[in-house]
Structure 1
């Protein structure tokens, strides 16, 4: 990273620094309303600034190298963080972090491979890393919600599940309703967002292109691709997570594991 690049970055931070005025407004309102969120707001904004600044320099370095190896390293790093985060949300699911990570990897890699093979995106760091980041973040949220909801639904309906098992149902058959319900709930926000995109909000990719000088018609072409890939990756990730999680709920004798459902 050259000194000129650092100076250019510092100059470009003038506007983001000016935008701190709205954060100050939020902190003031939190203080007046006695919400006790002032410290958390300041910490969150500072952390976001630090993380984005670091990742900006890292991406600048990766883009300048144009190496396929850096794509895979960045991808594995993002999937690992996403799996850990989603697993934390569903921490009572056995091996939740590994399941979430594997599910996110499956959903995003299959989707990305399809897009590359169809030549929607070239296989270069400048395209693949930002696109992968969007898919991974979205799949992380969906997977965490799906896993948590599946475990909670089984816990609240243990009598029904155990009755089905006693009548000869397999574990997969005994929890099929809970699996379907968790998938519907996990995927609903993604589908609702796809239904209302452009009507209520202009998504980040589209907004960024328009503000960068691209025509609205070019921007919507990219946004359509983004919405399609988010739906595809989230669906594969959430379904994979339910299949991987199911064995952890049952013993080898096809009984529910009590310790999995004994805590909240």
Structure 2
């Protein structure tokens, strides 16, 4: 397997038996719609008005997961590093846009979020491959990249939004520190720390209680797939470690990239950033 961005493929090598297996396997997901029907009925009885939203959500989930299933099956059959990189960059782009939407008042928030997520997940993934924790193959890299990107997206969005909101609330303190000769980074140090703590706390709390309150998805999937619980916990420990690493790097990177936009070249707060709501 090469590491060049060669996206060619041969249709003769494709095995379409999985398509028949997929259609047969969809019987259980269709049967599981019964619980959604129960939720729709309860929503109607309680006059919540969520019936349409529930139906749309389930349809979108079914459509999106089906499409990604076909795409992943195609990529797995290719065994080509170029498709891994392409899929990874697509996930990072979508995650950056989504996190930027959460922190929409941060200037160039989508770009800041995208670069931060890329940095955090790329560094973490590089270390995992370098240490031979995972092989650089689509079957391993794409799923773990998806978990890291999704987690980093949430943490980065919260960090950026919280940092901007905290600075807005404590503008007087920040301006006083600037007037006394502090640099922008020094003047906002407490706000940066608070935003990082708030954003990373759910990830750390989840690591503290994993296995005690709930069994995570990766571990549950392995057990239901026939793997032994001991094998499942080994993978889950790796997953928790990589999520903490990627989230921490991404969130810290986002503070370094977004706080300069909060200040002018004269080291004054950029008023227009904090007046919009």
Which TM class, normalised by the smaller chain length? Answer: over 0.9
What is the distance in 2 between the residues matched to 1:4 and 1:116?
31
What is the distance in 2 between the residues matched to 1:92 and 1:132?
28
Equivalent residue for 1:259? 272
Equivalent residue for 1:212? 225
Per-residue deviation, 1:31: 1.4
1:152 and 2:157 equivalent? no
1:181 and 2:194 equivalent? yes
1:74 and 2:87 equivalent? yes
What is the distance in 2 between the residues matched to 1:2 and 1:39?
38
What is the distance in 2 between the residues matched to 1:104 and 1:191?
18
Equivalent residue for 2:136? 123
What is the distance in 2 between the residues matched to 1:259 and 1:197?
43
Paired residues for 1:161-240 under 5 Å: 161-240=174-253
Per-residue deviation, 1:2: 5.7
Equivalent residue for 1:248? 261
What is the distance in 1 between the residues matched to 2:129 and 2:274?
42
Equivalent residue for 1:103? 116
Q: Normalising to structure 2: TM-score of the pair?
A: 0.94
1:90 and 2:110 equivalent? no
SS at match of 1:145: helix
Instruction: Give the counterpart of 1:25 among 8, 15, 38.
Output: 38
Per-residue deviation, 1:5: 2.9
What is the distance in 2 between the residues matched to 1:148 and 1:33?
35
What is the distance in 2 between the residues matched to 1:176 and 1:70?
41
Per-residue deviation, 1:167: 1.2
What is the distance in 2 between the residues matched to 1:151 and 1:59?
38
What is the distance in 1 between the residues matched to 2:71 and 2:210?
31
What is the distance in 2 between the residues matched to 1:66 and 1:4?
18
What is the distance in 2 between the residues matched to 1:33 and 1:256?
49
Equivalent residue for 1:56? 69
What is the distance in 2 between the residues matched to 1:82 and 1:97?
9
Equivalent residue for 1:132? 145
- The aligned length equals 264
What is the distance in 1 between the residues matched to 2:22 and 2:230?
30
Per-residue deviation, 1:3: 5.4
Q: What is the RMSD computed on CA atoms of the aligned residues?
A: 0.9
SS at match of 2:275: coil
1:36 and 2:49 equivalent? yes
What is the distance in 2 between the residues matched to 1:227 and 1:2?
34
Equivalent residue for 1:8? 21
Equivalent residue for 2:8? none
